[in-house]
């Protein structure tokens, strides 16, 4: 067994719930408010990752990460907030008092914050169907890809274990698991997938998280949508390449 510590995948829930529930947020910075459609004119490199993970790059509306050998399509016109989220977490980590770092384990229960991790969880991609300050009647669809050192989870040997604390956090935030996590094959890669849903007024927020272990990291790919078809379309945009 391993100790349930801060999950990078929790960033997807926390941020998306915050966007949907509040309908507005502080204005994004110029770098984080850029859209995926703008990347079609060339290649947009993500900021260097301090955790040693390849930050990846966006080319022609497709996020590509060579370290983990996968790519992910970003729907045209979506808003990118990757830099903003990482900058916010880094600032919070720097401002944290020494006694705070020795306290209780972070569980990511604050909806507007990313969970902290001593190993440095990093968001590799955060993309949303509309800006956070824009109100809408539908679910604000999103894609959040994050990586965290597997050493944050003592005893973690397979991706299926990653879903034990993940499901606990999901339930704490009002989500219900559709079924037990299961294997899903994407090209040459086998991942573990978990599906969840949450009633938000008259709407239903649907989420699917795919997880894998690679290069000493636990990697989570989370998509959120308002319908099963919308979620599946986002998952279908994920491609793995053989090494």
Per-residue pLDDT tens digits for 120-165: 578 999 999 987 667 777 888 999 998 988 888 888 899 999 888 7
Are 186 and 238 contacting, i.e. CB atoms less than 8 angstroms apart? yes
**Domains contained in the chain, number:** 1
Supply the DSSP symbol for 219.
Answer: E
Residue 4 belongs to a domain: no
Residue 170's domain comprises 10-240
User: What confidence score (pLDDT) does residue 129 get?
Assistant: 93
67 exposed, middle or buried (CB, 10 Å; 0-12, 13-18, 19+)? Answer: middle
Domain annotation covers residue 52 = yes
pLDDT at residue 141, rounded to an integer: 93
| Token pair of 144 as six digits | 């959040």
For residue 179, pLDDT over 70 is answered with yes
Q: Which are the contacts of 116, defined by CB distance < 8 A and separation ≥ 6? A: 6, 89, 92, 93, 96, 106
CATH code of residue 158? 3.40.1000.10
Q: Is residue 3 in some structural domain?
A: no
The predicted model scores a pTM of 0.76
Mean pLDDT (whole number) for 185-204: 93
- Cβ neighbors of 159 (< 8 A, separation 6 or more) are 191, 192, 211, 212, 213, 218
For tokens 């926390």, name the residue: 14
Q: What integer pLDDT is reported at residue 186 of this predicted model?
A: 96
Of the listed ranges 90-99, 105-114, 181-190, the least confidently predicted one is 105-114
pLDDT (0 to 100) of residue 27: 38
The string of pLDDT tens digits covering residues 13-41 is 454 445 444 433 333 333 344 666 544 44
Q: Domain for residue 177, yes or no? A: yes
Q: Is the pLDDT of residue 9 over 70?
A: no
Q: For residue 116, is pLDDT > 70? A: no
Please report, for residues 113, 125, 137, 207, the alpha-carbon distance to residue 140 in angstroms, rounded to integers and kept in the order given.
18, 16, 9, 12
- Cβ neighbours of 4 (radius 10 Å): 14
Report the pLDDT value the prediction gives residue 136, as an integer from 0 to 100: 73
Question: Cβ neighbours of residue 144 under 8 Å, at least 6 residues apart?
Answer: 9, 11, 12, 15, 16, 123, 125, 126, 127, 220, 221, 222
Point out the least confidently predicted range of 21-25, 97-101, 140-144, 188-192. 21-25
Strands 62-65 and 79-80: unpaired
Distance (Å, rounded) from C-alpha 225 to C-alpha 219? 20
Per-residue pLDDT reduced to its tens digit, 38-90? 444 455 545 444 456 788 999 999 999 999 999 999 999 999 988 887 787 67
Would you say residue 220 lies in a domain?
A: yes
Six token digits for residue 37: 């459609």
Q: Tell me whether residue 176 is in a domain.
A: yes
Separation of alpha carbons 221 and 212, rounded Å: 9
Query: Mind giving me the DSSP string for 145-209?
Result: EEEEEGGGSTT--SGGGGHHHHHHHHHHTT-EESS--EEEEETTEEEEEEEEEEEETTEEEEEEE
């Amino acid at each position: 067994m391993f100790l349930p510590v801060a999950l990078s995948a929790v960033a997807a829930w926390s941020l998306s719930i915050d966007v949907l529930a509040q309908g507005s947020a502080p204005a994004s910075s110029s770098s984080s408010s850029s859209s995926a459609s703008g990347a079609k004119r060339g290649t947009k490199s993500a900021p260097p990752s301090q955790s040693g993970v390849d930050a990846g790059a966006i080319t022609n509306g497709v996020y590509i990460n060579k370290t983990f050998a996968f790519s992910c399509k970003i729907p045209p016109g979506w808003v990118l907030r990757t830099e903003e989220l990482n900058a916010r977490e880094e600032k919070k980590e720097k401002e944290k008092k020494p006694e705070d770092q020795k306290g209780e384990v972070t569980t990511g229960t604050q909806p507007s914050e990313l969970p902290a991790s001593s190993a440095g969880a990093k968001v590799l991609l955060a993309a949303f169907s509309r800006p956070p300050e824009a109100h809408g009647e539908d679910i604000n669809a999103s894609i959040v890809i994050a990586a965290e050192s597997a050493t944050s989870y003592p005893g973690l040997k397979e991706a299926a274990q990653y879903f034990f604390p993940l499901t606990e956090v999901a339930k704490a935030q009002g989500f219900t698991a559709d079924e037990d996590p299961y294997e899903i094959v994407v090209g040459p890669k086998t991942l573990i997938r978990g599906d969840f849903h949450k009633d938000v007024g008259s709407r239903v927020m649907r989420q699917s998280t795919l997880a894998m272990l690679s290069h000493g990291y636990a990697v989570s790919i989370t998509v959120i949508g308002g319908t099963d078809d919308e979620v599946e379309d986002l998952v279908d945009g994920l491609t793995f390449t053989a090494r």
